[in-house]
Structure 1
Amino acid sequence: MVPLKRRKVVSSISTEDINRFPNVVIFLLVRKMGESRRAFLSQLGRKKGFQVEDSFSDLVTHVVSENNTGEEVRMWLRSQQKDKALTAQLLDMSWYTESMRAGCPVQILDRHKLQDEESVKEESVVEFSVPTYACQRRTTSDDHNSKLTDALTLLAENAELNNEDGRAVAFRRAAAVLKALPETVTSMTQLRRLPCLGEHSQRVIKDIIEDGVSGEVESTRHSERFKALKCLTGIFGVGAKTADRWFREGIQTLEHLVVSEHELNRAQQAGLEHYDDLNQPVTKAEALKIGDIVKRALLNVLPGCEMTLTGGFRRGKMTGHDVDFLITHPDEGKEVGLMPKVVSWLTAQGVLLYEKTTRSSFLVSENGPAQPPSNMDRFERCFSIFKLEKEKMDSVNAYPQTRYSGQITASNSHLVEANEMPNTHLPANKWRAVRVDLVVSPISQFPFALLGWTGSKLFERELRRWAGHVKSMSLSSHALYDNTQCKYLRATSEEEIFAHLGLEFIAPSDRNA
């Protein structure tokens, strides 16, 4: 008698060995699909009982491809000398995915059949078209394709956490293109003429359009590594490399970090202590209230300064993760050494929970900046955490308008003095911690600094890419250099900078790429 355990092994049959549909033989075309995706889909089909062949033959009844027209598939088959008496159905991936969900071959409809280029053009679906560079197009805060852009942004964040900057930029450019569209995407056909949509991004978009969700995105979102690195980089002063090192040491949560007794620097200590506050959105009202505090500091230290709220708030957003202020003085040179004095005054008022001040390292000659522009600016600045009173968040009007906004002079100083300083001795539940960046720029560089610190990050990256690739210029937050003429181009406003670059001026509210 055969033992029970042995009988089980003999009688077990792999589901991949069962061909439930003998009249259906499928070949997945690797062109535009990629080997890894093809292998995954082939394995999925075999588990469902389909016969999926790794190579094309006369036995194949269904040729399935992705992002190809019927003519492109036939040309590929001809190049392989495999189009003799072709009788197989040429089908889009949608037929395959619907069959996988149904667990059996679904009826072949017209929408499943590959179309030739001419017939595709005759479809009623409107194709979108946008310029290649984000700095050429207007992008408001409205997003008609948030489901797609959120998915691509998550993959970009994951790439950044893994120090894959190239992949991160590719995903962010694809998301920026979709965000600029005036309507919701309903078909991949609409995207055929759009720039910056690589094969990887297209696969993600296609999955969401057809299935409502991307398996890759969901897998990333719920992965232990992604969740841990997001948590750890949420600590002020912790970057991707530090978070990755901690993760490899077994640290995945704040609790793990505390018990590990890692030695933290000052920024990280403050970030851990105020973690919850710093990971809560900052409102526009809170940003303006902080602005009043900074204006009071400037009035006491150097009257006549000009200050502008930059970043997402200048682009029209109502919330942000931090608050950025750009400061200058109409008299060139008077701003030198300003930041330490402002920080000293704020510290005496008990407003600062943390601060790190850096001196300006940008040299200026008679003809312009004495060193080449770079993507990293070298202004005098202070990265800080403010202690902001929670109660009585009064509605604060916009700054009094001057040349750039918010000049503090003797004539309007009463506006600042009317706002009393916050009570810094309040109980912990009466105040919150807020990240604040203060940047000081010479008036001659102010338009470039204003442009650079307004963002968005991708919009600025695309501006620099346009300047270099199209105009043979170098743009930074300090200056614009013409590499052809070998000279710096002066500007007294953002409009002049756009004009130098040969671009139509785009208002801050339309730079939300």
Structure 2
Amino acid sequence: MASGLAFPSIFLLESHLTEDELESLKRQIRSLTTDPGKTDVFLGKLSNRERAQFELRRLGVVTVEKRQSRTRASARADTDSAPNLEESPAKRRKTGARAPSPIVISGSSEDDEPVQIVPPPKETDTIKVVKLAWFTESVARGEVLPLSDYTVYEGRRLLAEPAIMPSPAHVSRAEGILKRAQADAAGSQQPQGGKPHFMQARRKKFDGMPPPRPSLTRMTTSEKERVENLPPIPEFLHTTYSCQRPTPVHGPNDKFVEALKTIRLARQLMGDKIGIRAYSTTIATIAAYPYELSTPSEVSRLPGCGPKTAELFREFQNNGGHVREADDDEADAKLSVLRLFYNIWGVAETTARSFYNRGWRDLDDVIDYGWKELTRVQQIGVKYYDELQELLTRAQVEAIADRVLEHANSIHDGFQMVIAGGYRRGKALSGDVDIIISHSDESVTHLLIRRLVLSLEKAGLVTHTLTLSTANSERGQEAVSWKGNAPNHGLDSTASGGVGFDTLDKALVVWQEPMEPADQEGDKAGETQPNTNPHRRVDIIVTPWKTVGCAVLGWSGGTTFQRDLRRYCKNERALRFDSSGARSRVDGSPVDLEGYYGNDPATDMLTAERRVFEALELEFRPPNERCTG
């Protein structure tokens, strides 16, 4: 029993815990506290440092990460080997036992008394964020296990601000100071001779870290007049779910959105997960705003935006459509290399940083020093790098999709097809081709992907098959099972790779159109010329008819649209949704969103998609209104 173990004081982080888990833990943890300021151990379902820091900030716990210090033995060795020099006064000040003297800050005029500030102690208490497994395994073993093996983040708690100790004479002036402050607030003129008294000695110091600079959105008289005549914020923008908004492929603020996307990509390449989410929310809001932005104040009033975004827009306005941070990111040498690696097929941002940290700076370095370590997908991505960066026109996308459908129908008549991804959202150019095919007879789609890819290979259309998954067929073409509050592993995304990549039967292939007979003229020796048509990336997805609407919806929205669709289903409908279907979060049972099991199957794939919107009580948004970025 947990009650018999001497656990330290624990604060429970509730994120990612189900209600049942939360209640069970509250009953078991006898040393549980609800005050984050009075505990040194934070317990939760966390696996990375960034999330731990985010949870602490959300609770108002300010910390600085604790660095691993040297061992005492190494410190002694350094002392023994160091020259025997007399300690400098600065050194004695750091290591001496005397308490620090108060810092005295003079007033702004001769009449002001000095203010004494007592600095906070250098060392503050250490806090740790530990995995839930520490508690559960301790209970299972009947002993409190060491925290070190389960610690996600360790930091020092920082004091919010040093205490200000006024002198007796200064206390007597308090009433006058307050009166002057009130006069300033009422719009009186600032007294000459210095800053207001109540602003003296207001410098925060976070253990060597510079204080954050406040963001101020300044407003001119003309701006104030424009603000008074701004259009009302559309009602749909007040929702937190971008899947409830119409977001067109092109809007009145596209150029500013592109600058924000440049900054977001830089945050992504540098591993700033919180920044990625924040910028994604901002981008989705501005992309859905139907009016051309005119002032920073207009930006700051939008949900998901704030002073930071407003200042970026001010730069955008004043600098002829340029944002300094975005321009700096574009010109940054390191980010340029990371973008190069990130654009390799099969390389995510983590792998791109790994390549860079090894000292690699171009594709030749990857080939020379790491070729054998690359996956087959990555090797193909490097080999055909330039060709795979070429974008496809809508006509080229349609031609490839028609060939795939032709081969599917040669195996069995009656297949239907939808071209998903950016093409379906209305983009003029696409980086790859996403094709969803299905058949009203479920037995026909079972293991079809193998036969279809083989047919395309024999026709010389597919040169490489990089991934072939039959996971959906192997589980009886049912929706992915619900695994409690585990991370969602079932989303198919149009972003590279997506999340939960093996949800549906699919194949990732390299496509190359055959040479036309007129282009295959042989040379004098009778040999034909090599195929010079560019290689293309093609994703072929096969879905059973009972969840075809979920598949089409799951592969047709922008990244933020898909993220918010899953959040909506979780928070508002208690469902786990992905491209293979939906399941109840209450009992894990499949949920029929398309009327298939009611003996009323949809007649076509797009009708099935509309039914999913209706079942989720969402207003239908055509694909060209799902462009959240």
> How does the TM-score come out when normalised to structure 2?
0.56
Alpha-carbon distance in 2 for matches of 1:228, 1:379: 34
Label 1:190 to 1:236 Cα distance change in 2 as closer, same or farther (>3 A). Answer: same
AA paired with 1:382? Answer: A
Look up the SS of the partner of 1:149 in the other structure.
helix
Q: Measure, in 1, the Cα distance between the counterparts of 2:503 and 2:227.
A: 55
1:134 pairs, out of 242, 262, 278, with 242
Q: Counterparts of 1:349-368 in structure 2 under 5 Å?
A: 349-355=459-465, 356-361=467-472
The 8 Å contact of residues 323 and 436 in structure 1, kept in 2 or not, is answered as yes
Is 1:311 aligned to residue 421 of structure 2?
yes
Aligned equivalents of 2:574, 2:264: Cα separation in 1: 29
Structure 1 residue 125 corresponds to structure 2 residue 230? yes
Which segment is superposed worse, 240-249 or 465-474?
A: 465-474
Counterpart secondary structure, 1:470: helix
User: Which of 491, 501, 505 is the aligned partner of 1:380?
Assistant: 505
Give the 5 Å matches for 1:7-156. 81=178, 83-86=181-184, 87-88=188-189, 112=220, 123-129=228-234, 130-132=237-239, 133-156=241-264
Q: Percent identical across equivalent pairs?
A: 24
2:455 matches 1:345: yes
- In the alignment, is the contact (CA less than 8 A) between 1:128 and 1:191 conserved in 2? no
Alignment CA distance shift 1:206-1:337 (3 Å): same
Question: CA offset at residue 210 of structure 1?
Answer: 3.6
- Look up the match of 1:243: 352
Which residue of structure 1 lines up, in the alignment, with residue 311 of structure 2?
Answer: 203
Return the offset for 1:131.
Answer: 3.4
Choose the corresponding residue for 1:328, options 438, 455, 469. 438
* Distance across 1 between alignment mates of 2:566 and 2:348: 24
Report whether the alignment pairs 1:497 with 2:612. yes
1:162-207 CA distance string (max 9 Å, x none):
2323311211221121111222211022234311114443332232
Moved over 4 A (4+): 54-59, 87-90, 119-122, 361-373, 389-392, 484-487
**What amino acid is aligned across from residue 83 of structure 1 in structure 2?**
A
The secondary structure found in structure 1 opposite 2:464 is: strand
Compare CA radii of gyration and give the structure with the larger one. 2
User: 1:191 is matched with which residue: 296, 299, 302?
Assistant: 299
Counterpart among 573, 577, 592 of residue 471 in structure 1: 573
1:312-342 Cα offsets, whole Å, 9 max, x none, are 1112222111001112221113211111111
Shift of residue 305 of structure 1? 2.1
Distance across 2 between alignment mates of 1:438 and 1:182: 35
Q: In 2 relative to 1, CA 384–369 (structure 1 residues): closer, same or farther, beyond 3 Å?
A: closer
Is 1:131–1:137's contact at 8 Å kept on the other side of the alignment?
no
Q: Distance in 1 between matches of 2:474 and 2:233?
A: 46
- Are 2:387 and 1:277 equivalent residues in the alignment? yes
Match of 1:218 among 327, 332, 337: 327
Aligned-partner residue type, residue 381 of structure 1: K
Partner Cα distance (2:529, 2:407) in 1 = 21
Residues 304 and 329 of structure 1 are in contact (CA less than 8 Å); yes or no, is this contact kept in structure 2?
yes
Measured at CA, do residues 192 and 163 of structure 1 come closer, stay the same or move farther in structure 2, by a change above 3 Å?
Answer: closer
RMSD: 3.3
Q: Residues 460 and 514 of structure 2 are in contact (CA less than 8 Å); yes or no, is this contact kept in structure 1?
A: no
Amino acid at match of 2:449: M
Structure 1's 461 and 111: CA in aligned 2 closer, same or farther, altered over 3 A?
closer
Aligned residues between the structures: 386
Deviation at 1:471, TM superposition (A): 3.0
| Residue 406 of structure 2: aligned partner | 296
- Unaligned regions of 5+ residues in structure 2, if any? 1-104, 111-174, 192-217, 492-499, 518-527, 595-607
Aligned to 1:440: 542
- Alpha-carbon distance in 2 for matches of 1:141, 1:114: 32
Aligned partners of 2:407 and 2:455 also within 8 Å: yes
Partner of 1:3: none
Deviations 1:431-468 (A, max 9, x none): 11110001111111111011001121211111111222
TM-score (normalised: structure 1):
0.68
1:383 alignment partner, SS class: strand
Give the aligned residue type for 1:260.
Y
Report the secondary structure of 2:443's partner residue.
coil
User: How far apart in 2 are the matches of 1:242 and 1:55?
Assistant: 54
Q: Does 1:461 align with 2:563?
A: yes
Question: Which residue number corresponds to residue 427 of structure 1?
Answer: 530
Relative to structure 1, is the Cα distance of residues 249 and 306 closer, same or farther in structure 2, using a 3 angstrom cutoff? same
Which residue identity is paired with 2:238? P
Task: Tell me the distance in 1 between the aligned counterparts of 2:390 and 2:478.
Answer: 45
Q: For 1:361 and 1:348, how far apart are their aligned partners in 2?
A: 25
Q: Which residue of 2 aligns with 1:160?
A: 268
User: How far did residue 155 of structure 1 move?
Assistant: 1.4
In structure 2, what is the Cα distance between the partners aligned to 1:126 and 1:153? 25
User: Residues of 1 paired with 2:542 and 2:227: CA distance?
Assistant: 57
Q: Find the residue that maps to 1:298 and give its secondary structure.
A: helix
